Each structure stands twice: as C-alpha cells, then as structure tokens.
Amino acid sequence: MVVKSLVKKPISRRQFLRYGVASGAAIWLAGQGYQVYAQRAGGTLVWLGHQEVAGMGPNDIGPDVQSSVVFNIVNPLLHVNYLTETELVLAKAYEVAEDGLSYTFSLHEGVRFHDGSEFTAQDVKYTYEFYSQPGNTMAGRFIGMREVEVVDRYTARVHMNRVNAAFLRVAGELPIVPAAYHAEVGDQGFRTNPIGTGAFRLREWRPAEFTEIVAFEDHFRGRPLVDAIRLEVVPEPSVRYIALLTGDAHATVWPLLVEDSLELGRTPGFRVVKTLWNSPRFIPLNNERPQLADVRVRRAMLHAIDRQRIVDELDGGLGVVATSHLSPNNPFFHNPNVPLYPFNPEQARSILDGAGWVPGGDGIRAKDGLRLSFTCTTISGDQARRPMAELSQIFLRDVGVEMLLAEAPVAAILQGLREGTLEASLFNWTHGSLVDPSPTSTLRSDGADNFYRYRNPEMDRLIDEGLATVDPEQRRLIYNRTQELYAEDVPGLYLHFPEGMLVFSEAVQGLPEQVFVSTPLFFRGHQYSLG
C-alpha cells in the first residue's frame, strides 16, 4: 500500500509506517483525506554489481558495489544523500562547537542491532576509536580526533585536537558497529558476518556471486517495504543489460555500456539517472617504480593519450576530459587554471628524448638498462574500462612506452596498489567530491587510498591546511593549489570524468525525482517498493 498525500494534509513516513501496518489502515487513511492506491508489498529487489563484495565492514565502503550492501546492513550517524544534503540517520540531532573542537551527537533511543542488543553512545565511541587507529582504511576520516566521550547512554561527544572541516560529513558517515560483538569477532570476523542497525540483515554471502540481505523487522525507521535485496555480481555489462531488459533485475549499481543505457532510456518501463561523476577514470601509477618515478615520463604519457577520443569512442561522448583530481561537478572548488596536457604525441616524444629515454630496436624506450615498461592490471571482467586500457596501450606504444595488461579481482588490485606491489591499474576513485573536496585519503603521503605511492610535502601541508580551515573562500584557495600541484606532478594518468548513467526499472517505486549524486540512492533500500 502506498499513500499519496493531498495538499490539505501531508503525511510523514513515520506516520505511514505506523498506520500502514495496522489493520484497516487504508480505511483510516482514506477517512483522513488521503488518496490510497494498491501496490504489491514485499518481494525481492534485485541489484546488479560489476565486482565482488569482498567484505561488509566499515573498511569496505569505498567501492560502490560494497557500500550499497554495507549501508543497508550497518547504519551511520548521518548520510550525505543524493542531493548532497546532510541527512540524519542514527543521530537525531548534532551540535558543532563554535571553535570546531567538539561534535555532540544526540542518538535515537530504543534502536536495536540485529542481535537484539540496544544501540548506545558506547557503540559510537568504540566504532570511532577502533576505525581511527592506523592501519584501518577509514583512519583518514578521523584526522584531528582526540577521543569520544560518552556523555550519557544516548549522547556521544567527539573531542578534537584540531579543527577538521570535513569531519562531520566524512567521519559521520562511518557505519556504527555493535561494540561487544565487534570486540568478540574482530574486524575480519565482522566483515564476513556483519551485525548492524540497518533495515536489512545478512542472509547469504558469496563474494563473487551474490549477497542477499533480508528485511529487519525491528528496524527503528520501520520495516522495509520489500522483503529482501539481492546484489548479484555480474561483471559483463551486456549480461546486466539483458537481466534488466528481461525483468530479472531491477537496477544496476554500476553503469552498463553507454549504448545499452541509452537504449533502455528509450524503452518504456525504465528510468535512467544521469550524473557527472566525482570520480575520474584514471590509471594510478606506482611512483616508487624507477621507470615511473620521473615526472617527465608521467607528463609525456599524459600527452601521448588522446583522452577526448576515449570519451567519444568508448564512453559515447558522455564525459569531460580531466584536468586535475576534482570534477567540474563541484564548480565552487573546481580549478580549471592548471597545467594542461593536450594530446600531442610529438611533444611526448620530445619530453622522453630530453629525459634520456632512448628507443630500442623494438621501439620501446630504455635508460641505463631499464625498459620503459610497466603492467596495468584491470578489474576482471570489466568490459567498460578494459577497452580504455587497450586504447591507452596503443597510444603509449606509439611514443615508445610499453604498457602490458593483466586482470585481477578488485580486492586484489586495491590491496596490491595500497601495498605497492602493483605498478598500475585503471578504475574510478573519488579524490574529493561534492561532500568535501579534501583528497586526504588519496593524495596525502600516508593516505589509505594513495594508490600512487605519491609523496609531496607541499601536498601534505595543503591537505592539512584545508582540513583546518572552515571558511569556504579560504578553502577554495587551498584546493585550487592542490589541483595545480596534482597537475604539475601527474602522479597518475587521469583520463576523464564520466557522465554516468544508472538504469532502474520503473517497477522500483520511491526513487526521488531530482538526483545530484547517484550512489547514495542504493543506501536507502528500506524506502523502495516493487510496483
């Protein structure tokens, strides 16, 4: 049952859930002046992802496919939603001290974890203090945090050593774990068998096949409208397209091939949500490898790649060539006045000649006995981005650079890049967004997602200054310089910001009309129903 409110009397979601499960709800609502129409309740909402779900803990919220599962199982204090608004979840209110050195969160009372235990401020303290420890992927979200005080059972206060302008929206989004259970099983145990306050609890998990989560009857915002969500791992976009077309699936968490998305957009029964992404398609280069350590080599490679051709031929013209790490989707912070690297193979060759890299008999350059060769490892089954690596390989070969190609699961790629055992890859990753422009995780020397192994003391200083600065105009000056520095150093080959298209079946009811950022749509599975 769905309630459509008349102008004379709006209805809140909490009212609907309270009355919607009661006997005679439709009669009561109609008598109060609401329009009521029938809709199929329950059912299983099927989403399609392109990569495995390697884990379901707080450290796993980086990749979109994993976060679409995690956030439906484990709730944070707040979310930044599809309109980039701060939306309260486990917190019912928050207060930021005038000096920016404390955050007080008032929590909803009576919230239950899936095991029946009550959510309290002690769980917030445990979660924040555990995941802020070095070695955790999420530790960079807690820069400047000193401790978490349990003021009372339903109030937690975070004390800071210094101002962190990104803290509320970045740390506030970390999923809260039950302290007692997590302490018992550890982070690895939690990743494979999570317990949260979310609207769904885990039923079955097969990392490379599917993850199924089922409705949590005692969810504090009310029982979900569907009985279950099933995330199926389908690397091939053509197969995801067929599943949507035949009705076997209701949405794809990761885009299809452009032509298939456009086709479904013209097909009755589907809705396409199109947004310019904050995450560039890029080739992170391991700056510690001797053949990639010279900035002149990296600049030459960027000149060698026809990035506009990649957009036009492989992304259907839907995208903007990247000039630095921040997307034009964030016009306030985006800085277009940075060093540019237009497609110019002759200039690329000239730079490499000047750097002492000499072509060998096979056309591949070498210097001091070292071949200018490296391996780019793409995600297994990634039909959308693999061709971009293949075309880049041709462009680079033309100027004497050998880029070999390999494949591996995304979890192995992320681990290899973080540990420095891989030389390069090709995927998307956010380096600062509409939520916050700070590239702390990706460009700071000790950033958990510094896939480049990039180290520049000036970048570290700027990142720290940006976090310590609250005034937006002052922050803009700081991030203007981070973008200039990124473009000067070229730690990786940044290709373009795609205009991504996510496809939903019109059987999915409850999608918002306006969307600025599409990924958060999958964090709110409790709000959708099947019609």
User: Tens digits of per-residue pLDDT, 359-405?
Assistant: 999 999 999 999 999 999 999 989 889 999 999 999 999 999 999 99
In a domain, 193, yes or no: no
Q: Quick one: 452 and 382 in the same domain?
A: yes
Nearest to 371 by CA among 406, 397, 405, 402: 402
Q: Quick one: 219 and 362 in the same domain?
A: no
In a domain, 54, yes or no: yes
CATH number of the domain at 379, please: 3.10.105.10
pLDDT at 436: 86
Residues 6 or more apart whose Cβ sits within 8 Å of residue 20: 1, 3
Q: How far apart are CA 338 and CA 486, in angstroms?
A: 9
In a domain, 192, yes or no: no
Q: Quick one: 296 and 424 in the same domain?
A: yes
Of 185, 206, 237, the residue that ends a domain is 185
CATH number of the domain at 520, please: 3.40.190.10
**What is the CA angle 418-419-424, rounded to 5?**
65
Q: Which residues of the chain have pLDDT under 50?
A: 1-40
Q: Quick one: 378 and 332 in the same domain?
A: yes
Whole-angstrom CA distances from 431 to 42, 404, 418 are 38, 26, 15
Q: Are 508 and 225 in contact (CB under 8 A)?
A: no
Q: How far apart are CA 220 and CA 100, in angstroms?
A: 30
The position carrying tokens 């002759």 is 346
**60 class by beta-carbon count within 10 Å (0-12 exposed, 13-18 middle, 19+ buried):** buried
pLDDT at 292: 98
Q: Quick one: 310 and 378 in the same domain?
A: yes
Q: Quick one: 53 and 116 in the same domain?
A: no
Q: Quick one: 100 and 180 in the same domain?
A: yes
In a domain, 482, yes or no: yes
Q: What is the pTM of this model?
A: 0.81
Cα 186 to its chain centre, rounded Å, is: 24
Q: Quick one: 334 and 446 in the same domain?
A: yes
CATH number of the domain at 166, please: 3.90.76.10
pLDDT at 20: 36
Q: How far apart are CA 492 and CA 284, in angstroms?
A: 4
In a domain, 190, yes or no: no
Number of compact structural domains in the chain: 4
Q: Quick one: 305 and 354 in the same domain?
A: yes
Helix, strand, coil percent content, the chain, rounded in steps of 5: 35, 25, 45
Q: Are 78 and 87 in contact (CB under 8 A)?
A: yes
Amino acid identity at 230: R
Q: Range of 151's domain? A: 76-185
Nearest to 424 by CA among 279, 278, 292, 290: 292
Nearest to 375 by CA among 392, 362, 361: 392
In a domain, 432, yes or no: yes
pLDDT at 434: 78
In a domain, 462, yes or no: yes
Q: Quick one: 309 and 438 in the same domain?
A: yes
Whole-angstrom CA distances from 322 to 283, 309, 327, 341, 430 are 12, 13, 7, 10, 13
In a domain, 422, yes or no: yes
DSSP per residue, 207-242: TTTEEEEEE-TT-TT---SSSEEEEEE---HHHHHH
Q: Quick one: 367 and 476 in the same domain?
A: yes
Q: Are 512 and 82 in contact (CB under 8 A)?
A: yes
The position carrying tokens 């599917």 is 210
Q: Quick one: 324 and 261 in the same domain?
A: no
Whole-angstrom CA distances from 35 to 32, 142, 510, 528 are 9, 47, 16, 19
Phi-psi category of 340—alpha, beta or left, where left has phi over 0 and alpha has psi -120 to 50? beta
